Amino acid sequence: MILTCPSCGTRYRAESANFAPPGRHVRCAKCGYLWFHAVAEPEPAASAAPFGPIPAQPERPQTLGAIVTERKAAEPDPRRMTAEEEPRGSRLLPALGIILVLLLLAAVGWTAVQYRPTVVRLWPGSARVYGAVGLPVNLTGISIRNVNLRQQVEDGMPVLFVSGTMVNVSTRDQPVPQLRAILFDDSRRELYRWTFDSGIPSLQAGASKDFRVPLQNPPPDARAVNVGFAGEDVQ
């Protein structure tokens, strides 16, 4: 049976066997209110023999806290909302934002690698960035390889010879621009620089050709050389 406190409305589930007619006083375990819960007499059966009066027993109010099995339903407290009760959308939005940022970064990185010649043409300073990460950019389509420095004496005069190989690494014929050479000493200090014509006007796709250029009266401390295209920064 269900009992409801007339004062605070708290509901209790109680055993009917604890409430014999005509009823008994009960006390609310929550607010302490005392009231009499009436129980109707059962209908006498037709074949039942009459019984004498039942001696009255002294009544003692029963506190419902000992027999409580159900409390009045209350509205859920939003401050106690568990993770399972939170809207799924509120948890998915941050994850979707992170995924979109990662996809955007991946797209930017792929574009920067695939179209790095275009990036370098628009921003020449980016060539050093690509070179630092092992992705050098060759805008001319020609690679300078096997650079060598050799000094000797001819007719009593010191002569320095700079040699190397020009290779067309592109898929089409390429004109060969002027070259630039820089001499360094042992401490990598720049001593002298000049531009020269390699004597190779152009190279067919995939072709290679050697060059050898003399320099009269070079700096005596020259120990290394850097050869590139005219106007190109030192790598």
Q: Could you tell me where the beta strands, DSSP code E, fall in 46-95?
A: 62-63
3-class secondary-structure state, position 99: helix
Domain ranges of the chain: 1-40+59-75, 87-137, 142-229
- Of 151, 153, 155, the residue nearest 191 (C-alpha): 151
The predicted pLDDT at position 23 comes to 80
Mean pLDDT by 10 residues, the chain (235 residues): 86 80 84 83 59 53 50 48 54 81 86 72 70 71 92 89 93 92 94 93 94 93 92 65
- CA–CA separation, 189 and 219 (whole Å): 12
Q: How far apart are the first and last CA of the chain?
A: 92
> What is the third-level CATH fold of 142-229?
Immunoglobulin-like (2.60.40)
- Of 144, 164, 152, the residue nearest 215 (C-alpha): 152
- Of 61, 74, 59, 1, the residue nearest 28 (C-alpha): 61
